[in-house]
Amino acid sequence: MLATDQPKTFTLGDRSVKRLGYGAMQLAGPGVFGPPKDHDAALAVLREAVASGVNQIDTSDYYGPHVTNRLIREALAPYPEDLVIVTKIGARRGDDGSWLPAFSPEALTKAVYDNLGNLGLDVLEVVNLRIMLDPRRPAEGSIEAPLAVLAELQRQGLVRHIGLSNVTPAQVAEARRICNIVCVQNHYNLAHRADDPLIDELAREGIAYVPFFPLGGFSPLQSSALSNVAARVHATPMQVALAWLFRRAPNILLIPGTSSVAHLHENLAAAELNLPGDAVMALDGP
């Protein structure tokens, strides 16, 4: 099917969201650390995203740290009723900007309260538990202990829905035996398709799949195929990569990030981009 044939919304938890959302990570400084270069421009991007119909924003209090959540609050509070803010916990930042696992009950609880305070919310709509057993890629290992902490915070009314990030299929299965999982956020794109079976399984179960790094890790051959299709349909490689993801499965939610209003509009236009069948075949190829 073409991108325009795809459903434009998906039920995340019990909320209907546009499948093309916005990721706030790039609003922080270089390396996702420190304040943005242009504070007013960051606020403008957030406001324009919502004005353009975006109603799901992906963030975390360890972006900055604290930077993106405070920008979101400044730009958008009081929040529109239909806006769903998805955050994540499971890491903290070192003084040098390093990314460190933070799985203890105290660290996870503090992360939830930090997200609540910096976003100005009484309850977090969706919290993804980011697994960092190996920061470079998903790695097997039980996630029961940290997930049980998050599930308890959910029972306390601080979290409405729970998701996972950087996980293996076995960890998804383990998690679903512990609590209800509404989304999985993993590295997936044209060049990295290891999660194909997982995406299809989650689609059957009505669980959202949120790919990150839509242009990450491409070989020269794959980049060439993407660029050729982009030139043919008069679009950017990023737009084509997003359009391919959009048509891959109806449960895929996209969260491309940018600090530019112009780039934001380019990303949002990907949901309407038609990909001819032979172009899709070229992209699907090895």
Q: Tell me, yes or no, if 63 is annotated catalytic.
A: yes
113, 156 Cβ separation under 8 angstroms: no
Catalytic one of 22, 62, 63, 209: 63
- Residues designated catalytic: 63
